[in-house]
């Protein structure tokens, strides 16, 4: 079982609001790995839209992304690209 950790920056002007959160959840529906996002004291399940919104990550927030499972590397790559591309906004 693979475990990967990486810090990703929220580049969206509005932060991690509903649209990017929906994009993340859709992307993660297809993966087998467990994915958690950590911001400050909060750690949430990245497959849950409500949990992502509760993080209330603002623009330039550095989120620690933890991916654990058999497709961890592929999942981390997809998430990194999504953050990099501002979730298509």
CA 45 to CA 66: how far, in whole Å? 10
Question: Which domains, from first to last, does the chain contain?
Answer: 2-88 (3.30.1340.10)
Q: What is the pLDDT of residues 24-63, one digit of tens each?
A: 999 999 999 999 999 999 999 999 999 999 999 999 999 9
* Catalytic residue set: 17
Crossing angle for the helix pair 72-84 and 18-29, nearest 10 degrees?
160
Q: What is the pLDDT of residues 7-17, one digit of tens each?
A: 999 999 999 99
Cβ count near 85 (within 10 Å): 11
Alpha-carbon torsion angle 64, 25, 73, 33, nearest 10: 100
Q: Return the residue matching tokens 């959840």.
A: 25
């Amino acid at each position: 079982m693979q475990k990967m950790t990486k810090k990703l920056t929220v580049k969206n002007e509005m932060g991690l609001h509903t649209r990017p959160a929906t994009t993340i959840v859709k992307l993660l529906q297809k993966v087998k790995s467990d994915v958690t996002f950590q911001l400050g004291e909060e750690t949430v399940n990245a497959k849950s839209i409500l949990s992502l919104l509760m993080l209330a990550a603002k623009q330039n927030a550095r989120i620690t992304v933890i991916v654990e499972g058999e497709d961890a590397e592929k999942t981390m790559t997809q998430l990194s690209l999504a953050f990099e591309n501002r979730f298509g906004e």
